[in-house]
A and B are shown apart, each in its own frame.
Chain A
């Protein structure tokens, strides 16, 4: 106990810049490790759904068959050569994977991980997230163009149009969240959902939740919206020419984005680090009602499972149907619900019944 206190005192004495850098490092490595095990979990889950075993050879310390698979994959990819195609644009070809990954990691700066822990308590956190997620598309477009390959270019074009379309639906869904919270600070958005399972935004903003999550799946180019890769038509889409660690970076970016969208769904619609039992008799007084990182983690895990479940279940959308769904179904739904929210705020029900809104 004495040593821990001593270490904490030492930590507090470090300059703020250094402490921030350490936190950035911890969060980044945490996300990357989550990505590693998410790939394994995905293969396991889809395996079980298809009555297979999934990866079950590589062990760590003889524990749990398959647990070492992510590391085996990483070391294999690291040791492979990165082939730059003839007549490819060498600078952009190498820059593109980094451009895809950086926004996915940088977005974690404003996500409140627990009541006390957020790297940057920015006022405009929600806008910052929207801006960053809109920048992720550059990695894909540039990869497709710089590869000097028809398939890659087709994938990039598909992805660009798709992401621009679904960003609008996503943005409108977040406008609804913004109206319910009265703030763009993510910590404030979570705190304004306080008070048990039914007080969270999902209940009053249910259509927006559906739109947000569907748009999130489309933004990450995941099945059933993964036409940017569309292996049955364009081989592997935008990353067809990438090999080795450059390919691994795209992979990392896609999975980091999945975790990000799951975390954001939890923060915006499911009360982030709030406990679902808060305010209910019985458990309401126990440790289960305390807000903590554990609850956020649990929610993120559930949404990640949805991503995997979708992939194992749905066949890929046709491209014109993707566009139709985005523009003609999701965006009108958000617009209507923003109107409904206006009415709710006038008559003071739901989130607008709270005293601080008057």
Chain B
């Protein structure tokens, strides 16, 4: 990533509005699509567009990791599950009118919060073309992030990692069941098998050609 020059600001601005529009459209798609698979795909689309916007701001590491983790792993597993669900749409839709007010309330609260933040910092803080000031030409977002994460924020970072491992172990422990009478393969035995255990070579006398 090189710092954005004066001549490129217009192009960056156009790109920002392009990706932002797609992002909003994708986000709308997530909540309006009738098919849950389409909802999940719209979410993937939104992730990719927000990654593009981050890239425009020079946050290349965050942008790529967003795609790598959310698009590449989380959403794949999400789709995996959604595709296999046997969803009764009428059943899902039944409480829609009853709980709509809750949805509106949440949405309003979110909009109010975002407006408050924008109000405080002024619209100038959202100027997409500006990026972060004072980046040298060989600025590496990844390097800087790594340095900070493993020095200044090492303790919270490791704490978060431990928390994730605990969640992982807990999820496995909760779903691990031993059904009695279940037939499983003993992998050790399978790997350790020798040809002599399975195969018997029999010598026969050759037939005379008629």
Contact = CB atoms under 8 A, between A and B. Distances in A.
Interface of A: 92, 122-124, 127-128, 130-131, 134-135, 137-138, 141-142, 145, 153, 156-157, 160-161, 163-164, 167, 184, 320, 324
Nearest to B184: A320
B185 A161 contact: no
Interface stretch (B75-83, B92-100, B110-118): B75-83
B42 to A, nearest CB: 12
B154 to A, nearest CB: 16
Nearest to B61: A124
B13 interface: no
Given A157-B80, A160-B80, A123 B71 contact: no
B57 to A, nearest CB: 14
A141 B79 contact: yes
A123 B1 contact: yes
B156 interface: no
Contact of A184 (B41, B76, B142): B142
B71 A124 contact: no
B73 interface: yes
Nearest to A145: B83
Interface residues of B, number: 24
A128 B76 contact: no
B80 A130 contact: no
A122 B60 contact: yes
A134 B73 contact: yes
A138 B37 contact: no
A122 B139 CA distance: 11
Given A138-B44, A145-B83, A184-B142, A167 B72 contact: yes
B161 interface: no
B68 A130 contact: yes
A131 B76 contact: no
A28 B76 CA distance: 27
B68 A127 contact: yes
A157 B140 CA distance: 38
B64 A324 contact: no
Contacts of B142: 123-124, 127, 184
A157 B83 CA distance: 9
Nearest to B139: A123
Given A124-B60, A124-B141, A324-B187, A131 B83 contact: no
B164 interface: no
User: Among B68, B83, B187, which residue has the most Cβ atoms of chain A within 10 A?
Assistant: B68
Nearest to B65: A127
Interface string B59-70: 011001101100
Nearest to B72: A134
B97 to A, nearest CB: 29
B80 A131 contact: no
B160 to A, nearest CB: 18
B141 A123 contact: yes
Contacts of B61: 124, 127
Contacts of A128: 64
B130 to A, nearest CB: 20
